[in-house]
Chains A and B, each alone.
Chain A
Amino acid sequence: MLEVKDLHVTVEGSEILKGLSLTIKAGEVHALMGPNGAGKSTLSAVIAGKDGYEVTQGSITFEGQDVLEMEIEERAQAGLLLGFQYPVEIPGVKNIYLLKAALNAQRAARGEAEIAAPEFLKLIKDQLAFMKMDGSFLQRAVNQGFSGGEKKRNEILQMLVLQPKLAMLDEIDSGLDIDAMRVVAEGINSLRAADRGILLVTHYQRLLDFVVPDKVHVLVDGRIVKSGDAQLAHELEARGYEWVLEESAA
């Protein structure tokens, strides 16, 4: 599904990713972990198409398509969706506008007709209820005045409505209390499907107690230095990142 090969990325002249390779297959949940400054957020930013990141080497393909050649919106329409670590506040744009415009953009890209209003409303209401969000969220401006937890829930809500093929969640667990964490985790778990890949980028192992990954990768200094299963996350939690560094240096 997603294939990242030998990716080198430079930000403002300094190299952040230094030959990162990663393959995610449909049905898998991957966790990308690593110390601060390792380049975790850079990977998802590059895949989403954020400005300011220069790919100097390597490739990213998604279902055989060259991601780096696609417009930002084309990536999302193809099913690559990023959940932000810091969701942007968009004053004046109601959540309902965002959701409907996004859903219809996706449908248009697939050659489908716009969603009918009653069908849309039902879909939205079901997902809102699942995320334990009040209906008034829809009429509020995107993320404006939302608490940290509300913003993250909103990111998951968007995922649930848009049903991406690959969901990338960048530090979705930061700033969440335990109750919000559970709701967000339930949302992520409900996204798990045989035809969908999920990439969790996280600093801590905490989220992984709720969403058990199939694969865990440790990113250090722009490269994946170790991969394993869920057990690896526990080991990192217990021992920190130092030993991985030493091991990889050896």
Chain B
Amino acid sequence: MNSDVQRFLDRLTERSAQRDASQGPEPTWIAARRQAGAARFEALGFPNRRVEAWKYTDVRAIASGDFQLATDAEFSPATTATLTLPVEAHRLTFVDGVFSASLSQLDDLPQGVQLLPLSQALEDNHEAVGGPLGRLTGVEFSSFSALNTAFMEEGAVLRLAPGSVVDKPIILQFLSRANDAPVMSHPRILVEAGSRSEATLIEHHIGEDTAANFTNLVEEIILDRGAILTHYKLQEAPLADLHVASIHVEQGRDSRFTSFNLNLGGGLVRNDLVTELNGQGAEATFNGLFYGQGRQHVDNHTLANHNAPRTFSNENYKGILDDRAHGVFNGKVVVKRDSQQIEGFQSNANLLLSDRAHIDAKPELEIYADDVKCSHGTTTGQLDEEAVFALRTRGIDEQTARGLLTLAFAGEVLEQVTLDVISERVELAVAGKLPERFNLAGLVETAVALGEE
């Protein structure tokens, strides 16, 4: 076994010993899964580039890292205030994976809604967690899901009773600290949305600028008949953070899942987003935007499994890459045999702002039924020089012209965002990533003012 894998396993052994000493033995199902996770991780090792799904993403920065596990959730409330999304919300906050009660907001949850840290959910009723947890994302999914299962301790559980509607967004906020030694966390999120329930869930990753931690998240979302969930992933992690996440969704009849996967931060980022469209009338929409600069590496893998007839998926991902950033987009639509009357659309467009930026884009369709409407396409290009010229002839300097056009490119995804707090933040973040002397803030405000008249 290689020493990288051993180092992670050693840390796991230490951690288990500590936990057993302080909390006594865990329920047997947890211990068993942990063991299965560790065994699977040991067998697989970290993925190398000969593994097709990891062909374009080199995880050596993770494998070679020596990560501790955080033991407290101390974080300056003042700093938190500058990082937190300014919106009224139900909120769970985690600092390097450790739950912070003081930075969370769990008052006035509506009737029928349970939102609690995983540790609390396990303490309350571990069997109720043990049933669904791991059903969608098992240890087989990837080395990282196995590693997560081996280490999982904290995270979030959201349960929506049938028919319950949550008006305010629910935010899971993950803060990354600038530690002396880097830490890792393995958050585990479980969402069970009862029939015809409705909610907006925001997963927000952010932290101190100089943080350099590793997050390995697994999220499982189960949507019962007619449930509607809008899921935002706003990834603004510090630029030296390493981030691997998988989101697995199971959709019952007539359920609707809308994802906004917005990636601005992180040094090395890999997202897997998978939905199982299991009930007729189920509909999934995947919106994505990634912006890489410097030497950022952003990899998005999505998969829509049309397992039942009359299911729908629609995907639109846009990537903007500057400097030496590297992007990966792999979108796959699979239509199972006898899944008739399917609609699956997929589109990916990438904008390269520098000669050294790079994208590997691969759309895939696998269709085993005949009555389907599917399409896919990917394009990659530079800014339209004619448009740059046209803007400059109006007195707009070249950098601003390029900025306006870049923002315009992102606009198509951002226009779909219904939460202003997110669209404006991302719009400003994209504008802010553009070269100096670029002030779109005023423009955005004017446009908003006009819209409000």
Contact = CB atoms under 8 A, between A and B. Distances in A.
Q: How large is the interface on B (under 10, 10 to 19, 20 to 34, 35 or more residues)?
A: 20 to 34
Contacts of A51: 385, 389
Contacts of B398: 71-73
A139 B400 contact: no
B28 interface: no
Contact of B396 (A49, A73, A75, A139): A73
Nearest to A79: B395
**Do most interface residues of chain A lie in helix, strand or loop, or is the interface mixed?**
helix
A105 B395 CA distance: 6
Main secondary structure of the interface of B (DSSP, over half): helix
A81 B453 CA distance: 31
Nearest to B404: A93
B443 A97 contact: yes
A87 B392 contact: no
Interface in A157-173: 158, 162
B393 A97 contact: no
Contacts of A49: 392-393
A118 B209 CA distance: 37
Interface string A211-224: 00000000000000
A106 B451 CA distance: 25
B386 interface: yes
Residue from A87, A90, A101, A139 whose CB has the most chain B CB atoms within 10 Å: A101
B21 interface: no
A90 B408 contact: yes
Given A97-B447, A139-B447, A92 B394 contact: no
Interface string A49-93: 111000000000000000000011101110001101001111111
Interface string B406-427: 0111011000000000000000
Contact of B445 (A77, A91, A117, A162): A117
Contacts of A97: 404, 440, 443, 447
Interface in B16-63: none
A93 B408 contact: yes
A33 interface: no
A98 interface: yes
A81 B391 CA distance: 11
Closest 4 CB pairs of A and B: A92-B408, A76-B395, A102-B394, A88-B390
Interface of A: 48-51, 71-73, 75-77, 81-82, 84, 87-94, 96-98, 100-102, 104-106, 109, 114, 117, 120-121, 138-139, 141-142, 158, 162
Interface of B: 384-387, 389-398, 400-401, 404-405, 407-409, 411-412, 440, 442-443, 445-447, 449-451, 453
